[in-house]
Chain A
Amino acid sequence: MRVVTRRRWPERAFHALCLGAALLPLLAVLGLLGALLGRAAVATAPAGEAVGAAAALAAGLGTSLLLVALTALLALPVGVGAALYVAEVAPQSRLARFVAAHIDRLTVVPTVIYGLAGVLLFVRIAGRGQALLAGALTLAAVVLPVVVHSTRRALATVPAGVREAAVALGGTPWQVLRSVVLPMALPGIIAGAVAVIARALGTTAPLLLLGAADGLGALPVLIHDWATHPEPAFAANAAAGIVVLLGMLFILDTLAIMLRDRGSRDREGIR
């Protein structure tokens, strides 16, 4: 039996206010994206222009996928390795603590700043004319802290009891890491990696700074140039580009969520 059947009105009003605050941003962005879809539909309608836009979008998407694949190749091994070292191999070491604090600090650095680093350093490291490699190095620097962060989160989900059981069975630290912790954390690590790839795909500002040196023509740069074109008709093309970009991100996010869910289902069997 409930003692209080009716809450007083200030409490109910407060409840509604808080729910509204949580829902408002979601509804606003959903509404705006819906309106954007309307714009994109117009973009494909005019003849002549549409063919050009579609071909440019396909080329931009191809460049972007290549760029992001190269970025992943550079950032994922280093980031996952660093997270393993910091969280599992030698968490108490001076290097580990320094790296952890350093990664923490990097999370507030605006991505444009990485573009400046790209212009100053990575273009030189990669050599002139190697726009793709310079772009990938820059994006790798942008996402590296994110890779370390998401890998550490995945490693932290492995229950302490499982580790202790492995140690109790006589496993050396390396055996525990290789045969127990890593396999259990792997779905989470891969899900994090997919999310990082999605993030790299949408990163624009650093590429714009690099683009001043070499024309790369990745998808976000293409969208930016259409959105800022003096001719208003190009805005519809930019909307179509955004729909393509969001479509790619949706596919990647779905993949990441599926991987994460599979990981948690595997773990339930162990408990």
Chain B
Amino acid sequence: MNERATSRRPAERLAEGLLRACAGLTLLVGGALAIVFAQGVWSFMAGGGVQIANGAGVAPLLAGTALTAGIALAVAAPLGVLAAIYLSELAAPRVRAALRPALEVLAGVPTLVYGFLALELVTPLLQGVMPGLAPYNALAPGVVIGVMITPLVAALAEDAFRAVPPALREAALALGADRLATFRQVVLPPALPGVVAALLLALARAVGETMVVALAAGAEPRLTLDPRVPVETLSGYLVHAGRDGAAAPPIFAAGAVLLLCALSLGAAGRFVQRRVRSGA
């Protein structure tokens, strides 16, 4: 063993050193984000928390974020889970092979484009059905974000359904259960935690989603659960305030809150996911 280690050429050792340096360099990204978070927490304690959104504080921004992300999840959860059931249980292989990449393309459209669609097309469309809807509102961006994260929910939930061994399905079908009963009683119970993880990760994405709410939700921090009126989210505030003035303390305070929300939802999702893997 020892002989092999010493017989390695210097070029190989250099290559390994370079690759290790690359791996180490990626940690700088986390380091930079940690500095942003520390700056945010410091700003918050130094009174930046109250100055957020010209004195409105962080509560209305949190409410706006919860409202738009909640609407998004209400749209994406049924669509994404049903699409995942279709892809994993019902679709013919050829249909599945066409549908999956199409959904991936949907996820690749820049969020700026979704924001423009929400502002210029979806809001006017919804105003036709809902006369009380303001030009800026929580409903249109919420629905658009929901459609945007549906492919993510579908992909993660499909993984959860596919992790259930095919032999279990075949056994249920052999016992005379139809496909609906097989899915409900055999596939769904073990896959359920995976579906919950998918929804948590999608919620993390919806909470951090920025351009759609920055463009279409408005810039009025408001403590409300009414989806028809203008609100402002944490991420939207970062863009609006950051665009107007430079790096003021309240911006970093709001940024730290947003980062904390996204990371905790992500961690919760991963926690559930890991428990599924180790439990199965």
* Mask of B205-222 contacts with A, CB within 8 angstroms, 1/0: 101111100110000000
* Mask of A229-255 contacts with B, CB within 8 angstroms, 1/0: 000000100110010011001000100
Interface contact B25-A78, CB-CB below 8 Å: yes
Instruction: Say yes or no: is B86 at the interface (Cβ < 8 Å to chain A).
Output: yes
Given A79-B26, A208-B242, A246-B113, the answer on whether A141 and B106 have CB atoms closer than 8 Å is no
Number of B positions contacting A (CB below 8 A): 90
Instruction: Say yes or no: is B58 at the interface (Cβ < 8 Å to chain A).
Output: no
Interface contact B210-A110, CB-CB below 8 Å: yes
Instruction: Say yes or no: is B139 at the interface (Cβ < 8 Å to chain A).
Output: no
Instruction: Say yes or no: is B39 at the interface (Cβ < 8 Å to chain A).
Output: yes
Determine, out of B48-56, B147-155, B164-172, B190-198, the stretch whose residues face the partner at the interface. B147-155
Q: A25, A84, A107, A204 — which one has the most chain B CB atoms within 10 A of its CB?
A: A25
Instruction: Say yes or no: is B1 at the interface (Cβ < 8 Å to chain A).
Output: no
Interface contact A35-B121, CB-CB below 8 Å: yes
Interface contact A18-B26, CB-CB below 8 Å: no
Using a CB–CB cutoff of 8 Å, the interface residues on chain A facing chain B are 7-8, 10-11, 14-15, 17-22, 24-26, 28-29, 32-33, 35-36, 39, 77-82, 84-86, 89-90, 95-96, 98-99, 102-117, 119-122, 141, 144-145, 148, 172, 174, 195, 198-199, 201-205, 208-209, 211-213, 220, 223-224, 227-228, 235, 238-239, 242, 245-246, 249, 253
Chain A residue with minimal CB distance to B25? A78
Q: Which residues of A contact B210 (CB under 8 A)?
A: 110-112, 205
A15 to B33, CA, bound (A): 45
Interface contact B208-A8, CB-CB below 8 Å: no
| Given pairs A105-B267, A109-B33, A112-B239, 15 additional interface contacts (CB within 8 A) | A14-B180, A25-B151, A78-B26, A79-B22, A107-B266, A108-B262, A108-B263, A110-B210, A116-B40, A121-B36, A144-B26, A202-B113, A204-B110, A242-B113, A245-B112
Instruction: Say yes or no: is B243 at the interface (Cβ < 8 Å to chain A).
Output: yes
Partner of A77, one of B22, B99, B109, B238: B22
State the majority secondary structure of interface residues on B. helix
Q: A19, A113, A172, A199 — which one has the most chain B CB atoms within 10 A of its CB?
A: A113
Chain A residue with minimal CB distance to B251? A116
A209 to B16, CA, bound (A): 37
Interface contact B121-A81, CB-CB below 8 Å: no
Interface contact A212-B243, CB-CB below 8 Å: yes
Partner of A26, one of B22, B30, B102, B252: B102
Instruction: Say yes or no: is B20 at the interface (Cβ < 8 Å to chain A).
Output: yes
Chain B residue with minimal CB distance to A88? B19
Q: Which residues of A contact B80 (CB under 8 A)?
A: 21
Instruction: Say yes or no: is B131 at the interface (Cβ < 8 Å to chain A).
Output: no
Given A36-B116, A145-B29, the answer on whether A25 and B238 have CB atoms closer than 8 Å is no
A249 to B113, CA, bound (A): 12
Partner of B20, one of A85, A121, A144: A85
For chain B residues 87-105, which have a beta carbon within 8 Å of chain A?
87, 89-91, 99, 102-103, 105
Interface contact B22-A223, CB-CB below 8 Å: no
Partner of B23, one of A29, A82, A223: A82
- What 5 pairs between A and B have smallest CB-CB spacing? A202-B110, A110-B208, A81-B22, A108-B266, A21-B82
